[in-house]
Structure 1
Amino acid sequence: MLVSAPSFAIEKAKKTSPSKESRISVFEMTDSDRAFIELREAAKKNDVVRTQSLAASLSIYPYDDYVAYFRIKPQLFDSAGGVRADTSADSQVMGFLNQYQGTALADRMRNDWLLVLGKRKDWSRFDMEYPKFVLDDDTQVKCYSLQSKLAQGENATKVAIDAKTILLDPRYFGQACQELIPALVAAGGMSPSEAKALGRAASEMGFDTMSRRLGGEDPIADIVKSAKADPVKTFKEFSQNAPRYSKENQAAAWGVIGQFLAKKLDPNADDAYRLQQGLGYNDLLSTESQEWKVRAGLRAKDWALVKNAIEDMNPAVRSKDPAWTYWYGRALKAEGRNEKARESFELIAEQYHFYGQLAREELGRPNTAPARTKVSDADIDSAATRKGFIRGERFYAMNLRFEGNREWNWELRNMSDKQLLAAAEYAKRIALYDRVVNTADRTKQEHDFGLRYPTPFREELSPIAKQIDLNLAWAYGLIRQESRFIMNASSSVGASGLMQVMPNTAKYVAKKIGMTSYTNEKLSDTNTNLTLGSNYLNMVLVDLDGSWVLASAAYNAGPSRSKLWREKLTSPTEGAIFAETIPFNETRTYVKNVLANATYYSSVMNGQTPSLKQRLGVIAPKTAVASELP
């Protein structure tokens, strides 16, 4: 979990905005604050007795809505996080919603309450509350809303169409979606084959019990299990046994085998997906199989498969990631359909991400930061008075980043671009740099990339980068992705600081560069963290032949993995394809974001317009050599 650094925020606030700093700088943790934090932790465990006791001791605490929420919420869920349909807290919930209506926390409570009403099948009350749920970001709640429509006699086929836009990731199905799918089958809105496909998607992710609940026994369940364990062996065996199965089950099996071969970067993935493509039944592939079908085609330079795979995607899958718009344009270009390709690139060319940058280059346009929109001091002062920011700052000072983000982001809703920029500028003045980035990132027409791509700690980082000839824009692009400039950010695996350096890596680098006085306690020191992180980034860059793609991947997943992925190549491959086919979801996203960040940092800091495609380069296959780097 990332945590904020209140002491740093205090120091910077004093330097940059003395008239605004009082809310943070005068903050000192009180006994009541400590009890509030205990209450929060007890609420996370749904400990009813403990939360009741702690809440009673905080009867005059400033954030009475949070005290009330933490007292009520454990009555709605059991200790394992399951919804309690038999809760007796109805009147407390309704009282809370009435008292705090329009707040971020009321929306959170409504989310919880909708889960209770859905489990109860109290559709009358559910339908009254659901339109008031502003964020509407809970898959289970959406599945309950569709259950309600079925229960009230709405056309099952129509409900199933809506369901297909929701049922994309089994990790978020919960009880509600597991009930919805069999109900749709029983009502004739979804076929048993479609239900089995959703069950298969759950099995692919290891949710075997859920799989059986959704689709019953799957004729290719053993093949799914085998493909997950050893896709190469399964490919060979199924090549001989496929005729024993129906065409539908053959297609489903080849889709699963293709997915797991592709995740192993095995060239047979293209063959497996081509066999599936020939049989059809594309709509029965899981989201993962649909996406890896494109990646298998990219890795094999099979542009026909890339095009077909994207055309056959569930529209909800295709629209959620601009990658598929870009690669569809590239597939059209490979066919010589240049005008159609341009149309595809134009769809994302004004979007400021990895594939937006590549699309602009395909259209012959430079990747420059847009003109800066300035905001006035009056606009910034106005932002400073907003309730959500005031509350958010208090939570950040208490190291309660989750609550701080909730309040801050709620305040950002419905803001104009100029208001967003004023809020980002205010966050910069009080050194909440992650809020600077996330707030400025939301603008649509008017921008300030100096806020979207800020450069705090430049006095510390620049000389370090210069000494080892490390590209400063790339280093900033990495820090922006790693920690969002939260000084004492920490990860679940032990990485810490601005550059998220692992303790063992830090020890190794310190020894290599002669930092004899290093101890792990010093990793929280800004200069030490930047020194060790920058030197390690430079080390992996040298170790991986100067490739930013491979080095960025190595920084995230380790040099050995980056080398292994390169070794799996069968021919020189453009860097964008290599990045898109990285097997780890986190690392794939990480590499694309770091390199896209670096492009805009070059523009913001130096006025340069480097080519992302050139920076990605071409990755050539090379036998992996064990690295001493951690």
Structure 2
Amino acid sequence: MKRQKLLPVLSTLLLLTPLSTQVAALTQQQELYQETLKAARSSDNPQVVAGLKQLGDYPLKPYILYTQLRARLDQLDARDALNFSERHPDIPLEGRLRWALTTSLGERGEWQQFTQLYKTLDNPNTTQECYAGRAALATNQRQEAYAIAGRLWVEGSSQPNACDPLFEQWMQAGGLTDAHALTRVLASLEAGNPSLAKYAAKQAKAATTRQQIEFAQSLYENPQQLLENPSILTKANPEHRRLLMLAVNRLRRSDLDAAIDLWVRDRERLSIPVEEQFEITDRLGIYKAKRFQPDSPATLAKLDPQFQRDDLTGWRARLAMINQDWKGVETLIGKLSAEERQSERWQYWLSVAQEKQGQQVNEQLKQLSKDRTFYGFLAAELSGSAFTMNHEPAELDEATLTRLAAMPAFQRIHELFELGELYDARSEWNQITRILPPREQHLAAHLVSSWGWYNQGIRGAIQSEKWNDLDIRFPDPFRSLFDTAAERNGITKTWATAIARQESAFWIQARSHAGARGLMQLMPATARDTAKKHELPLNGLGSLYDPQTNIDLGSAYLGEMYHRFDNNRVFATAAYNAGPNRVNRWLRDRGELPLDIWIETIPFDETRNYVQNVLSFAVIYDTRAGRPAQLLSDSEKKLLAFNQAN
């Protein structure tokens, strides 16, 4: 058998040279595609026909056909969607067309056609389910229709208008019982929707049901009464479990300690099953822990006396760190589950706790330093070990990459990426990679990364569980821009790169729900202020999607945070994520703590992970660039618990 040629990672670009040449030649076709797509949206059929003919075998022609069908959705029947699915079974658009047409047929009341398509949907939404109930009514399948109505009516939120005719007939037929009314009242109160609960309450007829509902509403309005008078809720009430949880969750908003007292007392009194206790126990305990109050350790012990919840035991260990009770830290780590106890986090803190008690832990730290994690890197610096990358470069064979690149799905993905249609490109990726074996998923990730779609390459590496392929997980596409900006702002070269890797994974067009934009995810106000302070150009918010503009402004702002927090990258990184005012507050409350304990007790999980990731990513980028790497500066290392006098 002829052995396949194995190529280094960077040669992926060479493999794709023919494809890149093809893309350059397709510029005119891309323009024609967009013009024809526009004509399809406006139902200009002669131009669509002419455009399709000129496009030849252009990969995105099905998108034009789909758009043409969507433009006259209210005129289609089920056969139109099914025919499209038969011709294009491997394109996500076929599912979208079936979905949209199913809803349209329901709106039109064309029940036979609707039912034909509805049966093909995997996860119909509530509107479609209500249309299914109405279709059943139209064909005298009343039992099926009323079952749908009863199931949907009891939800704790208002349902779509499409459900109203179904609910009305169900109610007129006597389907709505007191049990339905009580169930919806409870669901509405649990969802924080008391006005809907009042509506549902009016549907109850029996006096006993109305009393139950009034009691539930009373607990919602005044949960403190249950703490003061436990006799008002006993196991004789069939809804005692839900009512207790409702009262605890409501009371937590106004008085956390009272909610904890109520929960600890009544979870046993009312025999709440252990597995149903965990969610509320964890939530209450973590809220209490993050208040860092003197009684927090005792309260967590009361909530979880048998150390059943690793999250709470972990926070008990963190609280012991704050008090620098190292024997207590060691004991609590020993109470974690075996799997959690062996994690890098807790092995690091076990080493610190033991060292602070006079034990020799250098060998433990050297062992831990073999992990490419924040805690592994900390251990490396403390033990004088080299950082371990554990890099496993991909073996990229030309034949498989060429075959993947030639697949219709990847040709469509490439065109969509070039046109900036990333939602569609991701949909195509998700559909095709579901049927690829892990090795080909991994190669596909390298394929799209070589086009410049770095964040999808990173996702693909994770999807294929190739955690040690650092070539694809840590690309460095804008090194010269980051280097120049770092030098200008007095920050280390790879720090801003690590920020961009964490923030956007190098997606130039990234935009968060909050409005942060570009590689370094700058908020508009921050970008404007930074541009003004540093006299940097910002020609409208759209320019934040320009790599140089974004990197210049993001690096300047990062430099501001660095100098604001006395050249401490830990505090500055936290400020970049959570805002400088929050970091000031955290420093005011716990700034005297050793630096690693301060990081470990950041109350925002996102910010804690963010700081650890950014510092670790900077080590990886420095190491891969052949530069001296440090997780922490010399001055920062002096602030670690390990280096503090006992």
Q: How far apart, CA to CA, are the structure 2 residues paired with 1:322 and 1:570?
A: 25
1:579 to 595, 599, 604: 599
Aligned position for 1:264:
291
Letter in 2 for 1:300: N
2:526 to 494, 505, 519: 505
- Whichever of the two has the greater Rg, that structure is 2
In the alignment, structure 1 residue 17 sits paired with structure 2 residue 38: no
In the alignment, structure 1 residue 539 sits paired with structure 2 residue 533: no
Letter in 1 for 2:300: Y
Letter in 2 for 1:18: T
Confirm or deny: 8 A CA contact 2:445 2:461 kept in the other structure.
yes
Deviation at 1:425, TM superposition (A): 3.6
Deviation at 1:495, TM superposition (A): 0.7
Q: How far apart, CA to CA, are the structure 2 residues paired with 1:465 and 1:493?
A: 26
In the alignment, structure 1 residue 295 sits paired with structure 2 residue 318: yes
How many residue pairs align between the two structures? 482
Deviation at 1:542, TM superposition (A): 0.7
Residues 156-305 of structure 1 aligned to structure 2 (within 5 Å): 215-218=241-244, 221-222=247-248, 225-229=250-254, 231=256, 234=257, 245=265, 258-276=285-303, 280-283=305-308, 289-305=312-328
Confirm or deny: 8 A CA contact 2:595 2:639 kept in the other structure.
yes
Q: Tell me whether 556-565 or 243-252 shows the greater mean CA deviation.
A: 243-252
2:517 to 483, 489, 496: 496
Deviation at 1:471, TM superposition (A): 1.3
2:449 to 403, 408, 428: 428
Aligned position for 1:207:
none
Letter in 2 for 1:475: A
Confirm or deny: 8 A CA contact 2:409 2:432 kept in the other structure.
yes
Are residues 249 and 327 of structure 1, via their aligned partners in 2, closer, same or farther at CA, if it must alter by over 3 Å? farther
1:393 aligned counterpart, secondary structure: helix
Confirm or deny: 8 A CA contact 1:259 1:292 kept in the other structure.
yes
In the alignment, structure 1 residue 392 sits paired with structure 2 residue 413: yes
Deviation at 1:389, TM superposition (A): 3.4
Confirm or deny: 8 A CA contact 1:488 1:496 kept in the other structure.
yes
1:493 aligned counterpart, secondary structure: coil
Are residues 314 and 230 of structure 1, via their aligned partners in 2, closer, same or farther at CA, if it must alter by over 3 Å? farther
Deviation at 1:582, TM superposition (A): 1.7
Superposition TM-score, scaled by structure 1 size: 0.60
2:497 aligned counterpart, secondary structure: helix
Are residues 524 and 516 of structure 1, via their aligned partners in 2, closer, same or farther at CA, if it must alter by over 3 Å? closer
Letter in 1 for 2:621: Y
In the alignment, structure 1 residue 589 sits paired with structure 2 residue 609: yes
Aligned position for 1:81:
none
Q: How far apart, CA to CA, are the structure 2 residues paired with 1:340 and 1:214?
A: 54
Letter in 2 for 1:608: P
Q: Deviations over 1:582-624 (max 9, x none)?
A: 2223222222211111110010113434245968646699xxx
Are residues 585 and 255 of structure 1, via their aligned partners in 2, closer, same or farther at CA, if it must alter by over 3 Å? closer
Q: Deviations over 1:262-303 (max 9, x none)?
A: 2234454234334556xx2443x5x76455334333333344
Letter in 2 for 1:512: K
2:94 to 68, 71, 81: 68
Q: How far apart, CA to CA, are the structure 2 residues paired with 1:213 and 1:15?
A: 67
Q: Deviations over 1:160-210 (max 9, x none)?
A: xxxxxxxxxx99xxxxxxxxxxxxxxxxxxxxxxxxxxxxxxx9xxxxxxx
Q: How far apart, CA to CA, are the structure 2 residues paired with 1:308 and 1:50?
A: 68
Confirm or deny: 8 A CA contact 1:496 1:502 kept in the other structure.
yes
Q: Deviations over 1:98-147 (max 9, x none)?
A: xxxxxxxxxxx48999x99xxx9xxxxxxxxxxxxxxxxxxxxxxxxxxx
- What residue ranges of structure 1 are gaps of 5+ in the alignment? 1-12, 79-85, 97-108, 121-169, 172-202, 204-211, 622-630
Aligned position for 1:603:
623
Superposition TM-score, scaled by structure 2 size: 0.59
Deviation at 1:535, TM superposition (A): 0.2
Q: Which has the higher contact order (CA 8 A, sep 6+)?
A: 1
Confirm or deny: 8 A CA contact 1:333 1:341 kept in the other structure.
no
Q: Deviations over 1:66-103 (max 9, x none)?
A: 3332244469999xxxxxxx99978657768xxxxxxx
Q: Deviations over 1:216-243 (max 9, x none)?
A: 3328945x54554455xx38x98xx899
Are residues 110 and 494 of structure 1, via their aligned partners in 2, closer, same or farther at CA, if it must alter by over 3 Å? closer
Q: How far apart, CA to CA, are the structure 2 residues paired with 1:257 and 1:551?
A: 30
Q: How far apart, CA to CA, are the structure 1 residues paired with 2:431 and 2:64?
A: 21
2:518 aligned counterpart, secondary structure: coil
1:218 aligned counterpart, secondary structure: helix
Aligned position for 1:404:
425
Deviation at 1:337, TM superposition (A): 7.5
2:318 aligned counterpart, secondary structure: helix
Are residues 492 and 257 of structure 1, via their aligned partners in 2, closer, same or farther at CA, if it must alter by over 3 Å? closer
Overall identity of the aligned pairs, in %: 23
Q: How far apart, CA to CA, are the structure 2 residues paired with 1:330 and 1:21?
A: 57
Confirm or deny: 8 A CA contact 1:332 1:341 kept in the other structure.
no
Confirm or deny: 8 A CA contact 1:274 1:305 kept in the other structure.
no
Q: How far apart, CA to CA, are the structure 1 residues paired with 2:94 and 2:29?
A: 26
Q: How far apart, CA to CA, are the structure 2 residues paired with 1:216 and 1:610?
A: 52
Confirm or deny: 8 A CA contact 1:332 1:340 kept in the other structure.
no
Q: How far apart, CA to CA, are the structure 1 residues paired with 2:314 and 2:587?
A: 21
Letter in 1 for 2:20: S
Q: How far apart, CA to CA, are the structure 2 residues paired with 1:320 and 1:50?
A: 59
Q: How far apart, CA to CA, are the structure 2 residues paired with 1:50 and 1:350?
A: 62
Confirm or deny: 8 A CA contact 2:499 2:614 kept in the other structure.
yes
Are residues 299 and 214 of structure 1, via their aligned partners in 2, closer, same or farther at CA, if it must alter by over 3 Å? farther
Confirm or deny: 8 A CA contact 2:502 2:614 kept in the other structure.
yes
Q: How far apart, CA to CA, are the structure 2 residues paired with 1:541 and 1:568?
A: 20
Aligned position for 1:125:
none
Deviation at 1:473, TM superposition (A): 1.0
Are residues 95 and 74 of structure 1, via their aligned partners in 2, closer, same or farther at CA, if it must alter by over 3 Å? closer
In the alignment, structure 1 residue 564 sits paired with structure 2 residue 568: no
2:296 aligned counterpart, secondary structure: helix
In the alignment, structure 1 residue 453 sits paired with structure 2 residue 474: yes
Confirm or deny: 8 A CA contact 1:479 1:498 kept in the other structure.
yes
- What residue ranges of structure 2 are gaps of 5+ in the alignment? 1-15, 43-62, 105-110, 134-189, 192-222, 224-237, 271-276, 642-646
Confirm or deny: 8 A CA contact 2:372 2:388 kept in the other structure.
no
Are residues 90 and 545 of structure 1, via their aligned partners in 2, closer, same or farther at CA, if it must alter by over 3 Å? farther
Confirm or deny: 8 A CA contact 1:227 1:256 kept in the other structure.
no
2:575 to 522, 533, 554: 554
1:354 to 374, 378, 383: 374
Confirm or deny: 8 A CA contact 1:366 1:609 kept in the other structure.
no
Confirm or deny: 8 A CA contact 1:24 1:397 kept in the other structure.
no
Q: How far apart, CA to CA, are the structure 1 residues paired with 2:301 and 2:472?
A: 46
